[in-house]
A = this chain, B = another copy of it.
Amino acid sequence: MNIGFIGLGQMGAGMAACLLKAGHSVTVFNRTAGKADGLKEKGAKVVASSAEACRGEAVVTMLANDEAIEEIVFGKNGMLVSLPPKALHVSSSTISVSMSERLTAAHAISNQRFVAAPVFGRPEAAAAGQLFVIAGGEKSAIDAGLPIFEAIGQKTFRIADTPRTANLVKLSGNFLIAAVIESLGEAIALVAKGGVEPKQYVEILTSTIFNAPVYKTYGGLIAGGKFTPAGFAAPLGQKDIRLTLEAADRLGVPLPIANVLRDRFISLLAHGGQELDWSAIGQLAAKDAALIVNEAASALSIRT
């Protein structure tokens, strides 16, 4: 397939590389030009405007937020005018449910096809083509996107005929991961103040009832107190909880744990956590408990 790819961050660069590896012809665009260099070596065509990336059968977007996709799609020379009729827009970004609805309506009016296909997986999974794809959209549109999904992911779930449903599921997944981070942060603060070494505690948890990657990854980060460089930056985590709460507000679903997470992200960022991994909210329970850990005795670098 002749595929455009817009958004070459940590996730996007890996996904675009997988498309190349699968034999597709890939035209890439990123606002910051340097990010495309590695892909050029792998055979990608690098273009200077997003419009030039919209001339194939399909274009994939992997952007940071609603504002970025708004500019790319609805802006001057945006996708609505530059993408050919019947061509497919695959939006893999984690965007709001309402933006997904706007995209669905706008592409329909422009006689273009649209699939929301957010993914589960960290940058390493993206690089390895091992993502999980949650696809929402009309059957024929998802069918058209299958070669793309197969190149970037290990499994594709057809969740609904409506693209927005895929975005909702993606947001709910990030909410669940953030809930793991916060609950681990609370539990670690509790046992650490009771005298247990955080790393040993995480080792016990993850070798028994919580033998799962998400607990190992985030338990390790919190117990180790190491939140840079960010695998997934705190402002992105905050955005996802905000979008989850917005969707919940519209659907009429109270989410008490999401509220706790909302406050944690606000507090983290108010204290200057913009560059930290989102798992840094997992240290705030200890901070509220005035837990001062001796670095010689423990690696939990939490200070009040």
Instruction: Spell out A's residues near B (CB within 8 Å).
Output: 97, 120-121, 132, 134, 155, 157, 159-160, 162, 164-165, 168-169, 172-173, 175-177, 179-180, 182-184, 186-187, 189-191, 193-196, 200-201, 204-205, 207-215, 242, 244, 247-249, 251-260, 262-264, 266-267, 269-272, 285-286, 288-291, 304
Are B248 and A266 in contact (CB-based, < 8 A)?
yes
Instruction: Please give the count of copies of this chain that the complex contains.
Output: 4
Contact A176 B172 (CB under 8 A): no
13 contacts between A and B (CB under 8 A): A132-B207, A159-B200, A172-B190, A179-B183, A186-B255, A190-B248, A190-B251, A193-B251, A194-B251, A212-B215, A249-B262, A252-B289, A259-B263
* Bound-state Cα–Cα, A272 to B249, Å: 15
Q: How far is the CA of A211 from the CA of B155 in the complex (A)?
A: 14
- How far, in whole Å, are A303 and B136 apart by their CA atoms in the complex? 28
Select which of B155, B157, B184 is within 8 A of A176 by beta carbon.
Answer: B184
**How many angstroms from the CA of A269 to the CA of B252 in the assembled complex?**
7
Q: Give the shortest distance, in Å, between A176 (CB) and chain B (any CB).
A: 5
**In the A-B complex, the 5 residue pairs with the closest CB atoms:** A212-B212, A254-B263, A259-B259, A179-B183, A252-B270
Residues of B within 8 A of A215 (CB): 212
Q: Which one, B169, B260, B304, contacts A257 given CB within 8 A? A: B260
B285 in contact with A255 (CB, 8 Å): yes
A176 CA to B214 CA, complexed, in Å: 13
Complex Cα gap A195–B258 (Å): 20
On chain B, the residues within 8 Å of A254 by CB distance are 262-264, 266-267, 270, 285, 288-289
Residues of B near A165 (CB, < 8 A) are: 191, 194-196
| Interface contact B120-A208, CB-CB below 8 Å | yes
Of B162, B168, B214, B267, the residue contacting A210 (CB under 8 A) is B214
Partner of A155 from B160, B207, B253 at Cβ < 8 Å:
B207
Chain B residues whose C-beta falls within 8 Å of the C-beta of A200 in the assembled complex: 159
Bound-state CA distance A255–B256 (Å) is: 13
Once the chains bind, are B173 and A253 in contact (CB under 8 Å)?
Answer: no
Asked whether B285 lies within 8 Å of A253 as measured between CB atoms, the reply is yes
Partner of A253, one of B120, B248, B256, B266: B266
The verdict on A169 contacting B204 (CB below 8 Å), with A120-B209, A257-B260, A288-B267 known, is yes
